[in-house]
């Protein structure tokens, strides 16, 4: 017997099947030939028992029964056939050589459909048989399995073309028809058969065996050969892949049939029962018939699914196109794209990656569906993993199982494993002919991606690339525009673009801010309304002329409403595309520049004035030194108190004159401050003390409000104190002159990198009209004997020399406040100058050499020092000094810096050389203010004691005696 599992299925359309039960061999042969020739499938039985068995087995469409049989009479057999469920409905035609009516009636009464008498006429016999065949097919319920199939199929029909329900109907039908213990339904997906549905028993094994390759195992075999298969015992058959599973479930007999539609394999339906042994032909036929119907329905479902999917895809692509062209933000595009990928290719993870051009690495811009966070950070270089493959080959790629895929490198396997990924599809993203990234879809289940999925991804990628490119371009353009606007807005120049009717098309923030508006408020308005400078006929003409001209025009415009002077440039702008002739109006605020210019002019004037003053002061310096000195000397000698008093007044006047000269000189020369570590609070306190007595006499209190622990700054304490005293003095004078009493407040504080000092009073304040001029030299509102107009200008130059600022404010009628801001200076590299020594000390007789070309100074110094008991000699220049020093020993050299011939500096330098012979123990230099800054620096560097001219005798003595 041929192995039953190799038997071809008998699923072809059936030919009418006739069973002949007849003991006459010749007649049998004649009937068999004749019926076969007429297109019948004929089986023959020569005994009643054989006939009965054949009838049961084959369930023929019609039985031709001889009434005289060797083992049992025909009517008895007829009764048997009618009595058994399986054969009851088979039409039986009785053949008899007795043609009498009794025999005929008996046969018909027993259930025969027709009675035919021998000898047989083939034509008459066929004519008798046919209606019964037709009747059986048309009217009578078919045999059990056909009913079952019919039921299964009707289930399928009622399954509504819903894939899930169709599969369920097929599975349930199979279970019921064959009384199976377990059943599975597998569908073809690419190279795989993927388990689509299973009966409850198989449920626990779904995870372990979700898919099978074509050709593998029993299911794979059926799929490969397109033929049904039965196996007597799966728990021992070597072809079975998962024998243990079947054994574990106690499954033995196995059956599987292909789901074929138009010769195309859609899947495999399989079942098993717990008893061993082959399924019979009938079972195979039944399952095959069910499978055939199921395949037809599934094919329809698929077709429908595909067209549905195509429709959905087309819709999605259209929607994507609409959405992304409306969305200018790349972020939105990305969101939509990955959502569509996920939905359309039924992926669990979808992502979009872009290339970073220089390194060629890809970065994930958007990812959905990942469980962990690591996947989003994957950054494949060309050649790495699937995306790297796509980047290198610029072609789509898909794999059914990432982890075992041999064509790719496995740089990211740990992440892939962590995500439980199996199938993966990735396609290149190309924009303007260039690879810009990768679009990918990932699944975790057994289902691989198909060629259709890939096509869909390619379409999505094309759409996406365009959209993203647009979004990027748009973003670039927006950024560029924003950048440009920011630039234009941050210009110091005001900028407006107007059309031929002077209507504002664009205006920058600067210009808008001049009129206290936002650009948006001014766009569309007429320039005349915004700036009154453009209101008149003349301005209109100017604009019109500029617009018709071919180059920029410059002009200066006063805009009284803004209190500004503007420099205007008008440039015609041809906006060819818009067909508009426009005009660019550029306005530069030159108010400040003009003011600066004026100031510069003034300071130039001041500089030349200073030159002259310096000369005058210098000339006055020496005679004043003489007057002062001699007056003091005489005072010491004169005994008459009245004369002494006169001499004292003379000396006082001379001192006053000397101070004025000093001020003049400081103002004129504005020499560099002599900086040393200074506590501004101390200066402020000292200034307060200096004016306190006079102030109190006038009913004014001087208060200080000093911020403690101000940093020590390197300032010229004398200069700064002078400035503070000048400010406080002015305050006191202002209050006194206005007959007011009250407070003067000196405050200090630190502001960022500066020290600030404020002097405020409760005087009349400063009228606005004179406020701009108070720092001018010689500007005064006081009488000739009271004011010089130099106080504030000196303050100004001192503060300026310190790199600081001074300004005044206050409310007219309610006092003035002067603010001084001095940047905090750190110690210079050189050491601090030696501290001043106290004046006057007991005289130890010294040998002193005085070198000065001014006879008055020379004589004064000689007389004064001699009066203190010193031995004094004098010379008129540097050479004479050096000569005299080499001749005789001296303790002290008092030397003037500015002398004809060898000057003081040169002389001192020679003396301080290692070979400098006769150098005295102490050298004191005398300076007038007319020495150059460079010389002053030199003196500072030498650290020699300095005696400033004009000097008091005490200062002279202190300088010489040390």
**C-alpha span between 506 and 810 (Å, rounded):** 41
Residue closer to ligand ADP by CB (options 438, 691) is 691
Which residues make beta-bridge pairs with 872? Answer: 848
Residue closer to ligand ADP by CB (options 269, 790) is 790
16, 396, 763, 945: which one binds ligand ADP (CB under 6 A):
763
Which residues make beta-bridge pairs with 183? Answer: 271
734 near ligand ADP, rule: CB under 6 A? yes
- Provide, rounded to whole angstroms, the least separation between the CB of residue 726 and ligand ADP: 6
- Provide, rounded to whole angstroms, the least separation between the CB of residue 918 and ligand ADP: 50
Alpha-helical segments (H) within 178-280? 217-225, 243-249
- Region binding ligand ADP by CB under 6 A among candidate stretches 513-521, 650-658, 670-678, 788-796: 788-796
- Provide, rounded to whole angstroms, the least separation between the CB of residue 748 and ligand ADP: 18
Q: Which residue is nearest to ligand ADP (CB)?
A: 791
3-state class of 397 per DSSP?
A: strand
- Region binding ligand ADP by CB under 6 A among candidate stretches 81-89, 507-515, 547-555, 726-734: 726-734
787 near ligand ADP, rule: CB under 6 A? yes
Which residues make beta-bridge pairs with 705? Answer: 747
- Provide, rounded to whole angstroms, the least separation between the CB of residue 621 and ligand ADP: 22
Residue closer to ligand ADP by CB (options 92, 816) is 816
736 near ligand ADP, rule: CB under 6 A? no
**C-alpha span between 517 and 789 (Å, rounded):** 43
**C-alpha span between 911 and 849 (Å, rounded):** 14
- Region binding ligand ADP by CB under 6 A among candidate stretches 160-168, 228-236, 268-276, 784-792: 784-792
Pairing of strands 114-117, 92-96: parallel
**C-alpha span between 61 and 945 (Å, rounded):** 146
Tokens of 685: 């306190």
Given a contact cutoff of 8 angstroms between Cβ atoms, the answer to whether 354 and 471 are in contact is no
Residue closer to ligand ADP by CB (options 268, 808) is 808
- Region binding ligand ADP by CB under 6 A among candidate stretches 204-212, 276-284, 539-547, 772-780: 772-780
Cis-peptide, bond into residue 815, ω within 30° of zero? no
724 near ligand ADP, rule: CB under 6 A? no
Numbers of helices and strands, H then E, in the chain? 28, 33
743 near ligand ADP, rule: CB under 6 A? no
**C-alpha span between 444 and 402 (Å, rounded):** 10
Spatial CB neighbours of 143, under 8 Å, sequence gap ≥ 6 = 59, 86, 89
301 near ligand ADP, rule: CB under 6 A? no
Number of chain positions touching ligand ADP (CB under 6 A): 18
793 near ligand ADP, rule: CB under 6 A? yes
459 near ligand ADP, rule: CB under 6 A? no
CB atoms within 10 A of CB 379: 15
- Provide, rounded to whole angstroms, the least separation between the CB of residue 498 and ligand ADP: 47
**C-alpha span between 173 and 483 (Å, rounded):** 71
- Provide, rounded to whole angstroms, the least separation between the CB of residue 787 and ligand ADP: 3
The beta-strand segments (E) located in 609-768 are 676-678, 700-706, 713-715, 742-751, 754-761
Residue closer to ligand ADP by CB (options 388, 791) is 791
**C-alpha span between 304 and 161 (Å, rounded):** 8
- Provide, rounded to whole angstroms, the least separation between the CB of residue 778 and ligand ADP: 8
Given a contact cutoff of 8 angstroms between Cβ atoms, the answer to whether 957 and 865 are in contact is yes
758 near ligand ADP, rule: CB under 6 A? no
766, 881, 885, 895: which one binds ligand ADP (CB under 6 A):
766
- Provide, rounded to whole angstroms, the least separation between the CB of residue 683 and ligand ADP: 18
How many CA atoms, within 13 angstroms, populate the side-chain half-sphere of residue 57? 12
Residue closer to ligand ADP by CB (options 296, 788) is 788
CA dihedral 110, 116, 122, 125 (to 10 degrees): -50
Residue closer to ligand ADP by CB (options 753, 767) is 767
**C-alpha span between 764 and 929 (Å, rounded):** 36
- Provide, rounded to whole angstroms, the least separation between the CB of residue 725 and ligand ADP: 11
54, 419, 589, 761: which one binds ligand ADP (CB under 6 A):
761
**C-alpha span between 206 and 217 (Å, rounded):** 16
Rounded to 5°, angle at Cα 759 from 757 and 762: 155
What residues between 161 and 220 interact with ligand ADP by CB under 6 A? Answer: none
3-state class of 151 per DSSP?
A: helix
Residue closer to ligand ADP by CB (options 723, 876) is 723
Given a contact cutoff of 8 angstroms between Cβ atoms, the answer to whether 877 and 853 are in contact is yes
3-state class of 150 per DSSP?
A: helix
- Provide, rounded to whole angstroms, the least separation between the CB of residue 663 and ligand ADP: 10
- Provide, rounded to whole angstroms, the least separation between the CB of residue 759 and ligand ADP: 8
Residue closer to ligand ADP by CB (options 547, 719) is 719
Alpha-carbon distance values, 634 to 11, 388, 638, 874 (Å) = 154, 107, 6, 20
780 near ligand ADP, rule: CB under 6 A? yes
Tokens of 270: 């399989």
Residue closer to ligand ADP by CB (options 461, 734) is 734
731 near ligand ADP, rule: CB under 6 A? yes
788 near ligand ADP, rule: CB under 6 A? yes
- Provide, rounded to whole angstroms, the least separation between the CB of residue 735 and ligand ADP: 8
Residue closer to ligand ADP by CB (options 584, 820) is 820
- Provide, rounded to whole angstroms, the least separation between the CB of residue 775 and ligand ADP: 7
- Provide, rounded to whole angstroms, the least separation between the CB of residue 654 and ligand ADP: 21
Spatial CB neighbours of 576, under 8 Å, sequence gap ≥ 6 = none
- Provide, rounded to whole angstroms, the least separation between the CB of residue 813 and ligand ADP: 11
91, 448, 791, 950: which one binds ligand ADP (CB under 6 A):
791
**C-alpha span between 530 and 559 (Å, rounded):** 11
Given a contact cutoff of 8 angstroms between Cβ atoms, the answer to whether 17 and 243 are in contact is no
782 near ligand ADP, rule: CB under 6 A? yes
- Region binding ligand ADP by CB under 6 A among candidate stretches 462-470, 727-735, 910-918, 923-931: 727-735
Tokens of 601: 């002019």
Phi, psi of 712 (to 5 degrees): -75, 135
Which residues make beta-bridge pairs with 138? Answer: none
- Region binding ligand ADP by CB under 6 A among candidate stretches 630-638, 760-768, 844-852, 930-938: 760-768
792 near ligand ADP, rule: CB under 6 A? yes
**C-alpha span between 275 and 402 (Å, rounded):** 40
Residue closer to ligand ADP by CB (options 553, 718) is 718
789 near ligand ADP, rule: CB under 6 A? yes
**C-alpha span between 710 and 822 (Å, rounded):** 12
285, 722, 730, 797: which one binds ligand ADP (CB under 6 A):
730
- Provide, rounded to whole angstroms, the least separation between the CB of residue 685 and ligand ADP: 20
779 near ligand ADP, rule: CB under 6 A? yes
- Provide, rounded to whole angstroms, the least separation between the CB of residue 610 and ligand ADP: 16
What is the residue whose two structure tokens read 């150059």? 932
Given a contact cutoff of 8 angstroms between Cβ atoms, the answer to whether 324 and 352 are in contact is no
774 near ligand ADP, rule: CB under 6 A? yes
78, 816, 825, 947: which one binds ligand ADP (CB under 6 A):
816
The binding site for ligand ADP (CB under 6 A) comprises 730-731, 734, 761, 763, 766, 774, 779-782, 787-789, 791-793, 816
């Amino acid at each position: 017997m041929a192995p039953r599992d190799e038997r071809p299925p008998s699923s072809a359309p059936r030919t009418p099947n006739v069973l002949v039960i007849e003991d006459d061999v010749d007649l049998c042969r004649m009937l068999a030939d004749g019926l076969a020739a007429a297109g019948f499938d004929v089986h023959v039985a020569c005994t009643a028992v054989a006939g009965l068995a054949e009838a049961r087995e084959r369930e023929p469409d019609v039985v031709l029964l001889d009434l005289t049989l060797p083992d049992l009479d025909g009517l008895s057999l007829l009764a048997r056939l009618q009595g058994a469920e399986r054969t009851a409905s088979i039409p039986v035609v009785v053949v008899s050589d007795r043609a009498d009516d009794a025999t005929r009636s008996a046969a018909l009464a027993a259930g025969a459909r027709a009675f035919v008498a021998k000898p047989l006429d083939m034509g008459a016999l066929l004519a008798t048989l046919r209606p019964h065949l037709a009747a059986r097919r048309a009217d009578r319920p078919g045999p059990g399995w056909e009913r079952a199939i019919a039921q299964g199929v009707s289930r399928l029909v009622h399954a509504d073309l819903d894939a899930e329900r169709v599969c369920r109907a097929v599975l349930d039908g199979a279970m019921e028809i064959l009384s199976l213990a377990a059943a599975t339904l597998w569908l073809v997906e690419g190279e795989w058969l993927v388990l689509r549905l299973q009966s409850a028993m198989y449920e626990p094994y779904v995870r372990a065996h979700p898919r099978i390759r074509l050709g593998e195992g029993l299911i794979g075999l059926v799929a490969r050969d397109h033929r049904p298969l039965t196996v007597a015992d799966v728990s021992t058959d070597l072809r079975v892949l998962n024998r243990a599973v079947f054994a574990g479930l106690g499954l033995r007999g196995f059956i599987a049939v292909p789901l074929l539609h138009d010769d195309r394999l859609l899947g495999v339906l399989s079942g098993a029962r717990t008893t061993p042994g082959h399924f019979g032909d009938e079972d195979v036929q039944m399952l095959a018939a069910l499978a055939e119907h199921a395949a037809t329905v599934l094919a329809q479902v698929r077709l429908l699914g595909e067209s549905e999917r195509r429709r959905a895809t087309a819709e999605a692509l259209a929607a994507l196109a609409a959405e992304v062209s409306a969305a200018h933000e790349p972020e939105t595009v990305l969101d939509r794209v990955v959502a569509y990928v996920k939905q359309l290719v039924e992926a669990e993870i979808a992502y979009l990656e872009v290339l970073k051009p220089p390194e060629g690495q890809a970065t994930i811009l958007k990812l959905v569906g990942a469980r962990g966070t690591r996947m989003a950070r994957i950054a494949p270089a060309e050649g790495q993993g699937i995306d790297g493959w796509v980047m290198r080959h610029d072609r789509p790629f898909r794999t059914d199982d990432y982890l075992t895929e041999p064509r790719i490198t496995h740089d990211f396997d740990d992440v892939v494993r962590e995500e439980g990924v199996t199938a993966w599809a990735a396609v290149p993203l190309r924009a303007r002919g260039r690879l810009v990234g990768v679009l990918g879809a990932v699944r975790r289940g057994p289902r691989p991606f198909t060629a259709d999925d890939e096509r869909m991804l390619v379409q999505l990628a094309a759409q996406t690339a365009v959209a993203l490119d647009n979004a990027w371009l748009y973003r670039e353009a927006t950024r560029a525009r924003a950048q440009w606007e920011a630039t234009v807005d941050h210009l110091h120049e005001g900028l407006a673009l107007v059309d031929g009717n002077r209507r504002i098309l664009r205006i920058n923030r600067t210009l808008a801010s001049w009129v206290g508006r936002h650009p948006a408020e001014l766009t569309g308005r007429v320039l005349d309304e915004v700036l009154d400078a453009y209101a008149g006929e003349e301005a209109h003409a100017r604009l019109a002329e500029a617009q018709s001209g071919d180059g920029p025009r410059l002009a200066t415009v006063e805009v009284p409403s803004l209190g500004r002077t503007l420099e205007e440039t008008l440039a015609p702008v041809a906006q060819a595309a818009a067909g508009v002739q426009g005009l660019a109006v550029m306005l530069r605020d030159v108010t400040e520049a003009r003011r600066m210019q004026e100031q510069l002019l003034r300071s130039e004037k001041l500089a030349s004035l200073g030159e002259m003053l310096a000369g005058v002061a210098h000339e006055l310096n020496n005679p004043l030194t003489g007057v002062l000195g001699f007056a003091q000397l005489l005072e010491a000698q004169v005994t008459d108190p009245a004369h002494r008093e006169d001499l004292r007044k003379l000396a006082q006047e001379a001192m006053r004159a000397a101070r004025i000269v000093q001020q003049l000189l400081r103002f004129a020369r504005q020499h560099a401050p002599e900086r040393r570590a200074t506590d501004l609070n101390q200066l402020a306190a000292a200034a307060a003390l200096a004016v306190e007595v006079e102030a109190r006499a006038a009913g004014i209190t001087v208060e200080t409000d000093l911020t403690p622990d101000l940093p020590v700054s390197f300032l010229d304490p004398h200069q700064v104190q002078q400035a503070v005293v000048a400010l406080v003095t002015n305050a006191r004078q202002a209050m006194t002159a206005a007959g007011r009493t009250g407070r003067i407040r000196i405050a200090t504080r630190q502001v960022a990198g500066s020290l600030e000092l404020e002097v405020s009073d409760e005087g009349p304040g400063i009228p606005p009209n004179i406020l701009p001029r108070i720092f001018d030299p010689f500007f005064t509102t006081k009488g000739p004997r009271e004011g010089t107009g130099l106080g504030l200008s000196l303050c100004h130059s001192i503060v300026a020399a310190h790199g600081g600022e001074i300004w005044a404010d206050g409310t007219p009628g309610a006092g003035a406040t002067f603010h001084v801001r001095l940047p905090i200076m750190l110690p210079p590299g050189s050491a601090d100058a030696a501290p001043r020594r106290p004046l006057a000390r007991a005289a130890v007789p010294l040998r002193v050499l005085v070198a000065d070309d001014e006879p008055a100074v020379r004589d004064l110094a000689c007389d004064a020092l001699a009066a203190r008991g010193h031995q004094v000699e004098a010379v008129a220049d540097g050479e004479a000094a050096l000569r005299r020093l080499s001749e005789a020993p001296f303790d002290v050299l008092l030397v003037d810096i500015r002398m004809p011939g060898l000057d003081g500096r040169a002389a001192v330098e020679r003396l301080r050389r290692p070979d400098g012979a006769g150098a005295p123990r102490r050298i004191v230099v005398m300076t007038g203010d007319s020495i150059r800054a460079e010389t002053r620096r030199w003196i500072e560097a030498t650290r020699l004691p300095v005696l400033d001219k004009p000097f008091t005798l005490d200062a002279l003595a202190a300088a010489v005696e040390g």
